C-alpha cells in the first residue's frame, strides 16, 4: 500500500476498480453554500471548488480534501463516515441525503451542496440537528415509560415475541439525520411540527408492550396539527429516508389511531 497516497487509500472503491484500475478521471466542481453566522462580515454565497475525482470518491472524501488542501474554514459534519450515525445529512443537488455514502461517480461533474433547511445553521454545511431532536424528544417524551424503573436485575428478563422485537427494531433504526424534516412541506409552514422522525418515534413506543402509555397519552402529544394531523401526506420524508424506514405506513397508522381517540 506504500505506492498510493493517503487520500486514495482512504477512498472506498468498487471491486471492479480494485481488479482493473480505472480510466480517465473527471474534474468535479462542488458549489457550496457558504455562510458563517459567527462572523459579522459573512454573507451567504455560493463558492465553487474543483477536485480531481478518485476511484470510489464519496462526498466525505471530497469535502475533507477541499478543507485540507484548499479552504481550512469550510464547515461540515462527519462522524462515522459509514452511513450509520446521521451527522452528515445535507442537500445534494437539491435532495437531502447522507453525504458520507454519496459516491461522486453517481453524480454529474457539477455538484451543488447546501445545508439542510429548517434546522439552525451553525455554518456552511453544518446545522444543529441535535438541539432540535432533543427538543422534539422532550416534547414527545420520546423514551420508554417503564412499568418498573427498578427491576430486579438478577432475575431473568421478561420475554418478548421475537417478531415483535424485530418490528420494534425496524422503527428504532432511525438515525435522526433530519432528512425527513428537511424535505417536509408541513415543517416549512409549522416550525413546531414534530416531523416524520417524531411520529416514527411515537409509533415505535406505541408498538412496544414495555411502554405503559395509552393511546390517550399519545393523543396528548401528537393529536394536533403540530403532530400527526399536520401531515399533508406529501411523503417526501418517505422518499428521502436514508434508512428506508416505513414512514408513510407509520404516519397513516398513527393517524388512524389518533382519529379514534379524537372522535371519542
Residue 101 or 190: the one with the smaller Cβ distance to other proteins is 101
107 interacts with other proteins by CB under 8 A: no
Among residue numbers 16 through 45, which ones bind other proteins (CB under 8 A)? Answer: 16-19, 21, 36-39
Shortest reach from residue 8's CB to other proteins, in Å:
7
Q: Is 112 helix (H, G, I), strand (E, B) or coil?
A: strand
Q: Which three cell numbers stand for residue 88?
A: 452528515
Please, what is the Cα angle at 160 between 156 and 166, to 5 degrees? 130
Residue 90 or 133: the one with the smaller Cβ distance to other proteins is 133
Shortest reach from residue 255's CB to other proteins, in Å:
23
- 95-98/110-114 β-pairing: unpaired
Residue 72 or 94: the one with the smaller Cβ distance to other proteins is 72
Shortest reach from residue 207's CB to other proteins, in Å:
10
Distance, CA of 215 to CA of 238 (rounded, Å): 24
Q: What is the dihedral of CA 247, 252, 254, 257, to 10 degrees?
A: -160
Residue 82 or 189: the one with the smaller Cβ distance to other proteins is 82
Among residue numbers 75 through 104, which ones bind other proteins (CB under 8 A)? Answer: 75, 77-87, 101, 103
How many Cβ atoms sit within 10 Å of the Cβ of residue 213?
16
Shortest reach from residue 105's CB to other proteins, in Å:
9
Residue 143 or 225: the one with the smaller Cβ distance to other proteins is 143
Among residue numbers 52 through 71, which ones bind other proteins (CB under 8 A)? Answer: 56, 58, 67-69
Among residue numbers 211 through 250, which ones bind other proteins (CB under 8 A)? Answer: 211
Q: Is 82 helix (H, G, I), strand (E, B) or coil?
A: coil
Please, what is the Cα angle at 188 between 121 and 215, to 5 degrees? 110
Among residue numbers 145 through 204, which ones bind other proteins (CB under 8 A)? Answer: 146, 148-162, 165-166, 168-169, 172-173, 175-176
The answer to whether 113 and 31 have CB atoms below 8 angstroms apart is yes
Shortest reach from residue 232's CB to other proteins, in Å:
28
Q: Which helix (H) or strand (E) holds 160?
A: none
Shortest reach from residue 163's CB to other proteins, in Å:
8
| Neighbour-count burial of 25, counting CB atoms closer than 10 A to its CB (0-12 exposed, 13-18 middle, 19+ buried) | exposed
| Widest CA span in the chain | 72
- Closest CA relative to residue 235, chosen from 221, 224, 223, 245: 245
Among residue numbers 114 through 143, which ones bind other proteins (CB under 8 A)? Answer: 122-123, 126, 128-131, 133-134, 137-138, 141-143
Shortest reach from residue 222's CB to other proteins, in Å:
17
Amino acid at each position: 500500500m506504500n505506492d498510493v497516497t493517503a487520500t486514495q487509500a482512504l477512498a472506498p472503491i468498487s471491486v471492479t476498480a480494485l481488479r482493473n484500475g480505472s480510466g480517465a478521471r473527471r474534474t468535479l466542481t462542488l458549489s457550496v453554500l457558504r455562510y458563517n453566522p459567527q462572523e459579522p462580515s459573512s454573507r451567504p454565497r455560493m463558492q465553487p471548488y474543483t477536485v480531481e475525482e478518485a476511484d470510489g470518491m464519496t462526498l466525505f472524501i471530497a469535502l475533507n480534501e477541499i478543507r485540507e488542501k484548499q479552504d481550512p474554514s469550510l464547515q461540515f459534519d462527519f462522524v462515522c463516515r459509514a452511513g450509520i450515525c446521521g451527522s452528515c445529512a445535507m442537500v445534494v443537488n437539491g435532495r437531502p441525503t447522507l453525504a458520507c455514502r454519496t459516491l461522486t461517480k453517481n453524480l454529474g461533474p457539477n455538484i451543488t451542496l447546501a445545508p439542510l433547511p429548517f434546522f439552525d445553521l451553525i455554518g456552511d454545511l453544518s446545522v444543529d440537528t441535535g438541539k432540535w431532536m432533543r427538543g422534539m424528544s422532550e416534547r414527545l417524551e420520546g423514551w420508554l415509560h417503564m412499568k418498573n424503573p427498578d427491576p430486579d436485575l438478577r432475575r431473568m428478563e421478561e420475554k418478548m415475541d421475537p417478531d415483535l422485537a424485530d418490528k420494534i427494531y425496524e422503527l428504532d433504526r432511525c438515525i435522526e439525520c433530519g432528512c425527513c424534516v428537511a424535505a417536509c412541506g408541513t415543517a416549512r409552514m409549522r416550525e413546531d411540527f414534530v416531523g416524520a422522525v417524531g411520529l416514527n418515534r411515537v409509533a415505535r413506543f406505541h408498538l412496544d408492550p414495555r411502554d405503559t402509555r395509552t393511546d390517550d397519552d399519545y393523543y396528548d402529544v401528537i393529536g394536533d396539527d403540530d403532530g400527526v394531523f399536520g401531515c399533508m401526506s406529501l411523503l417526501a420524508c418517505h422518499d428521502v429516508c436514508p434508512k428506508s424506514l416505513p414512514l408513510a405506513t407509520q404516519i397513516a397508522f398513527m393517524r388512524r389511531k389518533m382519529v379514534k381517540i379524537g372522535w371519542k
